[in-house]
Structure 1
Amino acid sequence: MSTNLLFAYGTIADPEFFGYLLKRKPVYAKAWLLDYKLLVNPESGYLFVKPAQGHQVTGQLAEITAEELEILDLWEEVPFYQREVLEVQATAGTLKAFVYTQNQARGIAISQGKPKERASMLEEIKEFRRWLDRQQNH
């Protein structure tokens, strides 16, 4: 089974959310995405990253399978979010990882906005997983 690296900075970087989405516990390693900035969409409360020289986003690196990547693409509503392969910095050095971005979106700094509430996000994830399980059982 081949694996891919994923740089997670929002929902997927939360072990409980990851567990509901992919039905397993994550194994994370700390990583940094250089020259990107973490922003929040003021209407939806969803977090996203986009290029921003001189900034960095701290996140989690996780190994995922091709099948899990398909699930994450559905969750991230690609092409609403774009999945890109970017270089990230980790303790092991510079690595290439998938990152969900929104390079054309407009957002505001987290300090000025309000990310979606955890309880609301958890309910969305559980509902998504129930929907996905129903689809896979048909």
Structure 2
Amino acid sequence: MTSRSKDLPPRPADPDMILLALFQSRLRERSRYLGEEIRAQRNRLSAHAQRNLMDDKYKQDDGGSLLARIERAEQALAAVQQAQERIGRGRYGLCDECQQPIGWDDLLEAPEQTMCRSCSHFGELDALASRA
């Protein structure tokens, strides 16, 4: 006795699931990259501090710029980790402001983003208005 399902070609995967797997992969890659970047910057900062102790010529700008790079990389890593958590909760790709889907093309550009184009545009306008 043969089953009809054995005679049918396999059903293709849902395009949304394929894209979600792509975003997960990109987020994992970005997380690894940022982790390596943070370690490298911390090593540079440590070497910089040791050189300055031996030379007794501390340049605040060099250490400050390394600290700023570390802070930016840590913030980016936190955003990536939050995006990974949203995937696990089934909330990935939804705007934090309006709860509408963020465009796939926008997520391809920056998979860790949390706002749709409309809401981020309004946020930029609000920031500009508050400066005026």
Greater Cα radius of gyration, structure 1 or 2: 2
TM-score in same-fold range (> 0.5): no
More strand by share: 1
What is the TM-score normalised by the length of structure 1? 0.27
Q: Per chain length, whose mean CA-contact separation is higher, i.e. which structure has more relative contact order (CA < 8 Å, sep 6+)?
A: 1
